[in-house]
A and B are shown apart, each in its own frame.
Chain A
Amino acid sequence: MGLGRWSEAVRERAKAALHRPSPYGPDLDVTSFEPGLSAGEPEPELVSQTGLDLERAKREAMYVQVDQALVKYFSKVPGVEVKCLERLLEEEPDVAKEYLWRLLDPATDKYTAIAALKGAGGYFVRVKRGAKVEVPVQACMFIRSSSLQAPHNLVIVEEGAEATIHIGCLTMPEAAALHAAMSEIYVERGARLKMIMVHAWNAVTHVRPRTVIKVEEGGELLSYYMNLSKVKSLQTYPLVKLAPGARAYIASIILGRGGAEIDVGTKVELEDASAEIVSRVLARDSSRVYARALLSGPSGQGHIECSGLMLSDEARIVMYPELDAKGPRARLTHEASIGKLSEEEINYLISKGFSREEAEGILVRGFMNVELSFLPERLQKYVSSVLDVMKKMATM
């Protein structure tokens, strides 16, 4: 099938789903959002909140998109290719057809549909077979105008390669936008991918990313997701498919602020593989956070650890840790807890000379701690800096 007919087939499937709601999160009228075409660079002070270092990325590898308009992309890192999706379609249509809309179905819901019909841009990152790359590819998705931003991202970490991607998604404070990024990520046999994603939205933006990550035999995925800002609504439930011998550690640290409605989680399908899903949810103001986690498969080992911290009387946290053993060789466990800051712990820190605000900040920052030792030192610092920003936003 030629590229034209392939694209047309994708669009036809999408059209049929344009009014199909997601089973999760508040429903939206996606047709009210038109693609945005603002120009210019992202605002540096906002970008820095996501831990991205675009100055440094200029010497390494980066992709920057504002609304649906491309700003720049390149890679100076040996073994790493970065380009925009349109360029991939133009230069390597067979690769595009082989990998795009394979893990994701454009007819899944209205958000995949609108992305297939009106989306533009998105990064294509390919890490060559056997390349061991510690330098992160930095990708920035910036929304400047009240519009639709629906890029389609494709990442291929080829057999035996190692790669790191650090993604920051953010908006200008006043932009009432819909972000519906499609991401299809392939971690091939024996490859390793470390992924850091930071969301810093505003109080009027709706966010509906759709992500599927396929990890082949012996592959490894380390994923850190942080949502630190206000958002009108955020719903995402990425799927990770683990082949035999694959491993995954997936951590999410989510801060609900203002009147946000957040429904996030991770599904992992495993077969003779191992996975750990860790989520830390903090809810302040009148935010509502629904945290989901699902481990399913016929065999393998998995654990879910969900912790919630209530930071106001009006907030709400609901947790759904689910285990689905499809065979007797599946060993699946979970633990979940929700509570508030302990007065005993606050008082202890006050007796050590900290003010109440400082004590709460220490405990909130501690609550957000997840296992970072899997990451190289530079990335540990990036994640820590983002968590420090989150701590301030949680306690200010």
Chain B
Amino acid sequence: MLRLENVRARVEGKEVLKGISLSLREGEVLYVLGPNGCGKTSLLRAIAGYPGYEVEGRVEFYGEDISSLPAEQRAARGVGIAHQIPPRLSNVNTGALLEQMCQKFGCNSVREVAELLNIKHLLGRPFGKGFSGGELKRVELATLLLQRPKLALIDEPDSGVDVDSVAVIAEGIRRLLSSSTRGAIIVTHSGLMARLVEPSGVCIMLDGRLVKCGGRELLEEAMGRGFRALVGGS
């Protein structure tokens, strides 16, 4: 469903992706692990077409080259992204925004998603204002559940949140994967989420490159030995 061919990206002149190639088939959940600042977020944003990224190379989604499409058109084709830390949207009502997303993408019910992710109490509040880390992640995941993308790009769903929230988020991701979403790339620097949402593949990212890919055992190894040691200190 997704194929990246030698994708390079720059943000404000700085090269953040240095030639990424990967494929994702339907039913796969790929974990991308790596230290802070290695380019994991940039990889997801380059696929999603996030504004401000100068991207070279080919991003193919279900056989279509979407490299030159703006983000909203990629979203319309089924590419969804959950950001690591969404911005606080000054005074935008959380419930109203989720309702707009629901209408745009034809979801069933905001309330159902809000119940699943335990965010009902946030619907009447300004988006992001005073939310805890876990609440931010859960609201962000709610946007994906409402968008019902074919491909879910999920940025650090398990960082900065308590164990209970991680369990709720994992349940949300499983719900996503059991409905309209056919594949996911989950970025993390801890292996926490992988205990709850089974990976089908794991790649290690360092300095803007995917340096090693494999199965679940790679994740365990990386968690045990560290990212750089795993790839021979490169």
Contact = CB atoms under 8 A, between A and B. Distances in A.
A348 B89 contact: yes
B70 A350 contact: yes
A350 B71 CA distance: 6
A350 B87 contact: no
Contacts of A103: none
B90 A363 contact: yes
B97 A362 contact: yes
A355 interface: yes
Contacts of B179: none
Interface of B: 45, 48-52, 70-72, 75-76, 80-81, 83, 86-87, 89-93, 97, 100-101, 104-105, 126-127, 143, 147
A352 B101 contact: yes
A347 interface: yes
A363 B127 CA distance: 11
A32 interface: no
22 contacts: A342-B90, A343-B51, A345-B89, A347-B50, A347-B71, A350-B50, A351-B45, A351-B49, A351-B51, A352-B147, A353-B75, A353-B105, A353-B147, A362-B100, A363-B92, A366-B89, A366-B91, A366-B126, A367-B91, A369-B91, A369-B93, A369-B126
A55 interface: no
Contact of A366 (B71, B81, B92): B92
A332 B23 CA distance: 61
Interface string A364-396: 011111000000000000000000000000000
Interface in A328-351: 342-351
A344 B87 contact: yes
B87 A342 contact: yes
Contacts of A346: 51
A354 interface: yes
Contact of B75 (A345, A347, A352): A352
Interface of B is mostly: mixed
Most buried by A among B50, B51, B127: B51
B89 A350 contact: no
Nearest to A368: B91
B101 A353 contact: yes
Contacts of B80: 353
A367 B86 contact: no
Given A348-B83, A362-B97, A362-B100, A354 B89 contact: no
A345 B147 contact: no
Contacts of A347: 50-52, 71
A367 B90 contact: yes
Contacts of A363: 89-90, 92
A350 B75 CA distance: 9
B92 A362 contact: yes
Contacts of A352: 75, 81, 101, 143, 147
Contact of A351 (B83, B92, B105): B83
A305 B117 CA distance: 33
Contacts of A349: 89
B87 A353 contact: no
A343 B87 CA distance: 11
Given A345-B90, A351-B49, A352-B143, 10 more contacts: A346-B51, A347-B50, A350-B50, A350-B70, A351-B51, A352-B81, A353-B72, A353-B75, A354-B72, A366-B92
Interface string A306-344: 000000000000000000000000000000000000111
B41 to A, nearest CB: 12
A345 B87 contact: yes
Contacts of A343: 51
A374 to B, nearest CB: 14
Closest 5 pairs (CB-CB, A-B): A366-B92, A353-B75, A366-B91, A347-B51, A369-B91
A365 B89 CA distance: 11
Contacts of B101: 352-353
B46 to A, nearest CB: 12
Nearest to A348: B87
Most buried by A among B70, B91, B104: B91
A258 B70 CA distance: 32
Nearest to A384: B96
Contacts of B97: 362
A350 B92 contact: no
Contacts of A362: 89, 92, 97, 100
Nearest to B101: A352
A328 B91 CA distance: 34
A353 B150 CA distance: 13
Nearest to A341: B90
A91 B64 CA distance: 79
Given A344-B87, A366-B91, A366-B92, A351 B48 contact: yes
A346 B91 CA distance: 14
